[in-house]
Amino acid sequence: MSLADARELLPRAAAEGYAVPALNFHSLDMVPALVEVAEAERSPLILQASPGTIAFLGLDAIEAIVGAAARRCRVPVVLHLDHARDYKLVMGALRHGFTSVMADGSSLPFEDNVSLTAKVVEAAHAAGVAVEGELGYVPRAGDPAVGGGAGAPEGYEFTLPEQAEEFVARTGVDSLAVAVGTVHGLYRQAPRLDLERLAAIRARVPIPLVLHGGSGVPAEMLRAAIARGVAKVNFATELKHAWTGALRTALAGDRETDPRRLLAPALKALQEEAARKIRLCGSRGRA
């Protein structure tokens, strides 16, 4: 299959009550492993690369390996640019076959966020590519304002429903990432999502919603968020930890020097974690 269009996958997921798992990859070996597990689970998949991963791997290598893996498989795979704050990076992704991009102006004042996002929408839509915007700020677990990972306190730059409505109307984004209590990274205690706020956003915003910081969110809370219009859930930290944890054990265990053999348990652990995420999202059997 050629790479899939997020503008088809996300509305369908929202309408049918599941979310498409958006899995960050950090190295090239992870790409075919993640596609393989999506195929085994018959789940649509969003593979996403952060600016850091793009700096590490390069857009050409990402385009080649994701394109090859997607062509070989029978489930829809979207290649998404995660957290682009830089317009030039978006243009690079558009030239390298990405089928979805995120314009992340969430740390900017509202008007600047609108300008950056609208500019990205204009370029991306001209290329037939979907755009995710973000309003409200999803912090990192270690940010001082979230108490070293205890979860974002109520009122910490959470998305305002009426502002979300205005943002979507003025930018023309295809999906909207919202801040309702998740953080990027691991929680010290289980987060409490502001489900009422999510429902209020849903009531005003007709497009699919996106939840960042999926690692560590309890299953019942994730399901409640999906029931309130979340159609894409981002997972990075727990996948990375599964891969590195298994690799660390493999390295400590014996004198193996063949990277392919050392990586085998890391990729198996990654696939097991990815399969759990797919099931949590309810996307198993949807492709």
- Nearest distance, CB of residue 23 and ligand 13P, angstroms: 9
Catalytically active residues are 82
- Nearest distance, CB of residue 215 and ligand 13P, angstroms: 3
Per-residue binder mask for ligand 13P (CB under 6 A), 77-106, x = binder: -----xx-----------------------
- CB proximity list for 37: less than 8 A, separation 6 or greater: 271, 274, 275, 278
Residue closer to ligand 13P (CB basis): 69 or 217? 217
- Nearest distance, CB of residue 228 and ligand 13P, angstroms: 18
Instruction: Report the alpha-carbon distance of residue 176 to residue 231 in Å, rounded.
Output: 10
Given the rule CB under 6 A, which of 111-119, 124-132, 211-219, 271-279 is the region that contacts ligand 13P? 211-219
Binding residue for ligand 13P (CB under 6 A) from 80, 212, 223, 228?
A: 212
- Nearest distance, CB of residue 257 and ligand 13P, angstroms: 31
Contact predicate 102/79, CB 8 Å: no
Contact predicate 182/221, CB 8 Å: no
Q: HEC states along 154-215? A: CCCCCCCHHHHHHHHHHHCCCEEEECCCCCECCCCCCCCCCHHHHHHHHHHCCCCEEECCCC
Interface with ligand 13P (CB under 6 A), residue total 13
Q: Does 234 interact with ligand 13P (rule: CB under 6 A)?
A: yes
- Nearest distance, CB of residue 48 and ligand 13P, angstroms: 7
Binding residue for ligand 13P (CB under 6 A) from 26, 96, 184, 197?
A: 184
Per-residue binder mask for ligand 13P (CB under 6 A), 125-164, x = binder: ----------------------------------------
Binding residue for ligand 13P (CB under 6 A) from 213, 232, 266, 281?
A: 213
Instruction: Report the alpha-carbon distance of residue 192 to residue 116 in Å, rounded.
Output: 30
* Residues in region 26-85 near ligand 13P by CB under 6 A: 82-83
Contact predicate 65/32, CB 8 Å: yes
- Nearest distance, CB of residue 259 and ligand 13P, angstroms: 25
Binding residue for ligand 13P (CB under 6 A) from 100, 106, 171, 215?
A: 215
For residue 10, the tally of other CB atoms under 10 A from its CB is: 28
CA angle 181, 27, 279 (to 5 degrees): 50
Binding residue for ligand 13P (CB under 6 A) from 161, 185, 191, 229?
A: 185
Q: Which residues bind ligand 13P (CB under 6 A)?
A: 24, 82-83, 184-185, 212-215, 234-237
